[in-house]
Amino acid sequence: MRAVIQRVQNASVFVNDQLISQIGKGLCVLVGISRDDTREDMDYIVRKILNTRLFDNRETGKRWSDSVVDRDYEILSVSQFTLYGNLKKGNKPDFHQSMDTKLSEDFYNEFLDKLRTGYKSDRVKDGQFGAMMAVNICNDGPVTITLESPTTTNKSTQQTDKPTNS
């Protein structure tokens, strides 16, 4: 799994010019699911989203000390299969590493359930799976962190780090 986590002042999702979802201060998370992702990948990404310290503590002034949970902020999650787009051959993106749409919708919904269970269900919002969305993000900082689950990282390393014969 891949996630692009952005600390935001606010974020919103529109589909066909209709507001689907919006948040105030918190995190906007773009989520990509690969065809090889497992529940362990999902658990890792959920844990990181909820616990990564991207916010300053207002009381102590300490930087990078609080998570979205610590601050009681909101999360807007947006499914984005293009995070697994590949441009190694030519200029047209190849999305073969993305999970099949039928499987990924269930996987993504389970991911959302885990986020909501791990935090507060009313603080976790999402876009509309499979729709063409206009995602408005007011990045705060700007702070943007890219995250990849360890099993995905290991798989891509195994595929690209082939031993050479000397």
For the annotated catalytic residues, the residue numbers are 80-82
- Give CA separation, 130 vs 32, 40, 47, 140, in Å: 12, 24, 25, 27
Instruction: Please list the residues that pair with 7 across neighbouring strands.
Output: 27, 143
Helices (H) and strands (E) in the chain, counts: 4, 6
Task: Compute the Cα dihedral for 74, 34, 2, 51 and give only its sign.
Answer: positive
